[in-house]
Amino acid sequence: MSTLRKILVEKDINCKSMWFMRQAGRYLPEFRKIRSQNKNFINLCLNSKLSSQITLQPIKRYNLDSAIVFSDILLVPHALGQEVKFIENQGPVLSEFNIDVFKTKNESIFTKELDPVYQTIQITREKLNKNKSLISFIGSPWTLLVYMFNLKNKKHEINLNKFYSNKLIIKNTLKQLIKYLCSHIEKQVNSGSDVVQIFDSWAGVLPKDELEQFCYMPNLEIVNYCKKRKIPTICFPKGIGTSYLDFNNFVNPDGINLDYDIDPLWAKENLKNVVFQGGMNPKILLKNESEVYAEAKKYLDIFKEVPYIFNFGHGLIPETDPDKLGNLINFVKNYK
Ligand code: 1CP
């Protein structure tokens, strides 16, 4: 059984594990080299040979025990007919959502479009040591809807007018997305991934009274789908503060990724029957090494007696120094 499965399924506290969100990409020179020769990001994600190579880059460099598939949450709207462009220093830009195009799609068209992702997983699984975990992922329906309906502004605030005036179509699209996301998970797991991380990166912009309908419910449906198939899940409802408690009680995933605004002591005392992952602010890596280790020690000590997966409270930032990250990895591996 892979290390992550041991922790998530058997709740084995002696099994230590560490991986990082966004470990394959942006900050790594070996990724940047490939990226500079592949200007179209979607095409790069759909190039199985290169995507598998990128997935394995952080494993080669740091001997981490989990690999996360190099792909993107926005391949889903792409496969559903929406144009997705990644513009330098601006992030993703999607063409306007077109319900007529959306309606022409079905699960077989959708998964056929994403077949290269499943091939990436197959190629990677063959090359990855058997005791290492291969993590696949999806964006939660709400987080995808934020991009698909262009619901947030540059300051990362939600455009509430747009949200409320399009609520019906957003709700209907959400229902459809759940179905597509479940088949995307099933295909990824059948191709060789053994854990699924569900990123609800924009849960925190939802008004509190909409959390149940747009965040908890869709995450629950997807987690229940996975439970029926014995697929371990790690949820990441970023930015919802103490609503992590309601989220955890409602959704009951195997693992939960803490964001950096969550007090780890509060989490340990309040979130029950769940494996903890992450928490540290990835920006800590911009500080000097003694500060980095002190922060890592804090999390490792708090979660010493419970199953814990070392990670951050969000993805590694592009400015991360790969050597400093390497030193942190050694520190965590040797910490008793
Ligand atoms: O320009 C570039 O070089 C592309 C940068 C990049 C990379 C390396 C993007 C654009 N996506 C990715 C890969 C990616 N995205 C992975 C696989 C690599 C890994 O984790 O090791 C994963 C898991 C994601 C997930 C993802 N994409 C999320 C959820 C996690 C999170 O960071 O909140 C989100 C919101 C996206 C959308 C996205 N993709 C890319 C950008 C710039 C964005 C917008 C959000 C952002 O600014 O990070």
**How do residues 85-116 score in pLDDT, each as one tens digit?**
998 878 899 999 999 999 999 999 999 999 99
Q: What is the mean pLDDT of residues 152-164?
A: 86
Decide if pLDDT at 300 tops 80.
yes
Judge if the beta carbon of residue 26 lies within 6 A of ligand 1: yes
Note the pLDDT of residue 1.
Answer: 83
Phi, psi (deg, nearest 5) at residue 130: -60, -30
**Mean pLDDT, residues 59-75 taken together:** 97
Ligand 1 pocket check for 66: Cβ under 6 Å:
no
Any atom of ligand 1 within 6 Å of the Cβ of 328: no
Q: Write down the mean pLDDT value for the chain.
A: 96
Averaged pLDDT for residues 215-234: 98
pLDDT band at 312 (very low <50, low <70, confident <90, very high): very high
Cα gap 58→70, rounded to integer Å: 11
* Residues 277 and 32 sit within 8 Å (Cβ to Cβ): no
- Domains in the chain with CATH codes: 3-333 (3.20.20.210)
Give the whole-angstrom CA distance, residue 57 versus residue 87: 24
| Statement: residue 188 has pLDDT above 80 | yes
Inform me whether the pLDDT recorded for 206 exceeds 90. Answer: yes
Amino acid 2: pLDDT = 87
Is 80 exceeded by the pLDDT of residue 61? Answer: yes
Pairing of strands 308-310, 17-18: parallel
Residue 244, ligand 1, Cβ within 6 A:
no
Amino acid making up residue 234: I
pTM passes above 0.75: yes
Q: Which of 73, 136, 185 to mutate to test the pocket of ligand 1 (most atoms within 8 A of CB)?
A: 73
- Give the per-residue pLDDT at 16: 86
pLDDT at position 177, please?
98
- Using a 6 Å cutoff on CB, does residue 199 contact ligand 1? yes
Q: Which residues are CB-contacts of 304 (< 8 A; sequence separation ≥ 6)?
A: none
Q: 115-127 and 167-190 helices cross at what angle (nearest 10)?
A: 40
SS3 263: coil
Determine which residue's CA is closest to atom 24 belonging to ligand 1: 72
> Taking 80 as the threshold, does the pLDDT of residue 154 lie above it?
no
Residues of the chain above pLDDT 70, percent: 100
Please list the residues that pair with 67 across neighbouring strands: 134
The minimum-distance atom of ligand 1 relative to the CA of 23 is 21
Specify the DSSP element, H or E, that contains 308: strand 308-310
Rg over CA atoms, the chain: 19
Instruction: Give distance in angstroms: CA of 322 to centre of ligand 1.
Output: 18
